[in-house]
């Protein structure tokens, strides 16, 4: 007798280059639910960056070059050149408008975002 409980069929994903993968082209069913977790779609991995040893929050670098921070409430991707302005969740780190210039700054903002929305 064949049991069907908890059976998950492997989905064939669209052939999209890593640097072209975004939330907008995340494969979805007709009801809008994602076929795969965004972490798998964007191939998010936690990189080794000197001075950043955060293991307790959900963050990492995607195949698109952005650093993502997320929780069950929200997700956001940061990249070099992003402007942090008043009203942004990351504004509290500086208390003034600034532009993210280094990979370490970008990663730190992804970590801070994950902490703030957790």
Q: Any idea where the domains of the chain sit in the sequence?
A: 43-117
Mean pLDDT, the chain, whole residue set: 83
Residues 44/62, Cβ–Cβ less than 8 Å: yes
pLDDT at 9 over 80: no
* Higher-pLDDT residue of 49, 22: 22
Q: Which residue has the tokens 């990189």?
A: 47
- Mean pLDDT over residues 20-37, rounded? 90
Q: What is the pLDDT of residue 10?
A: 54
What are the φ and ψ backbone dihedral angles of 110, each rounded to 5 degrees?
-65, -40
pLDDT at 96 over 90: no
Residues 52/105, Cβ–Cβ less than 8 Å: no
- Mean pLDDT over residues 45-69, rounded? 85
What are the φ and ψ backbone dihedral angles of 60, each rounded to 5 degrees?
175, 175
Confidence of residue 13 (pLDDT cuts 50, 70, 90): confident
Sequence-distant (6+) residues with CB within 8 A of 38 are 23, 26, 44, 75
């Amino acid at each position: 007798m064949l049991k069907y409980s908890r059976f998950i069929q492997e989905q064939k994903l669209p052939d999209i280059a890593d640097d072209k993968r975004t939330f907008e082209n995340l494969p979805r069913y007709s009801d809008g639910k994602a076929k795969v977790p965004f972490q798998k779609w964007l191939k998010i991995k936690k990189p080794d960056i000197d001075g950043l040893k955060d293991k307790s929050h959900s963050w990492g670098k995607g195949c698109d070059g952005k650093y993502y921070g997320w929780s069950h409430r929200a997700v956001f991707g940061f990249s070099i050149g992003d402007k942090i302005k008043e009203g942004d969740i990351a504004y509290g780190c500086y208390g003034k408008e600034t532009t993210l210039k280094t990979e370490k700054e970008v990663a730190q903002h992804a970590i801070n975002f994950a902490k703030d929305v957790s």
